[in-house]
Homo-oligomer: A and B are copies of this chain.
Amino acid sequence: MDERTVFFLSDQTGVTAETLGHSLLTQFNSRKFQQVTLPFIDSEDKARAALHKINASASKSTLRPIIFSTLVQDEFRAIVREANGLHLDIFDAFLATLGAELGEEATHEPGRAHGMSDIDAYMKRIEATNFALANDDGGISRNYDVADVILVGVSRSGKTPTCLYLALQYGVYAANYPLTDEEFESGELPDVLTAHKSKLFGLTITPERLRHIRKERRALGKYSTAQQVRFEIREAEKLFRRYGIKFVDTTEFSIEEISSRILDSTGVDRRVRP
Contact = CB atoms under 8 A, between A and B. Distances in A.
Interface string A86-120: 10101101110111011010111101111000110
Contact of A15 (B19, B122, B129, B168): B19
Nearest to A70: B23
Interface stretch (A144-152, A158-166, A220-228): A158-166
A213 B120 CA distance: 11
Interface size band for A: 35 or more
A112 to B, nearest CB: 5
A127 to B, nearest CB: 7
Interface string A45-69: 0000000000000000000101000
Given A118-B254, A260-B14, A24 B161 contact: no
Interface string A254-268: 111101110010000
A260 B121 contact: no
Interface stretch (A25-33, A174-182, A183-191, A193-201): A25-33
A235 interface: no
A138 interface: no
A256 to B, nearest CB: 5
3 A-B pairs with least C-beta separation: A13-B260, A27-B106, A93-B93
Interface of A: 12-16, 18-20, 22-30, 35, 37, 39-40, 64, 66, 70, 72, 86, 88, 90-91, 93-95, 97-99, 101-102, 104, 106-109, 111-114, 118-119, 121-123, 125-127, 129, 133, 158, 160-161, 164-165, 168, 209, 213, 216, 252-257, 259-261, 264, 270, 273-274
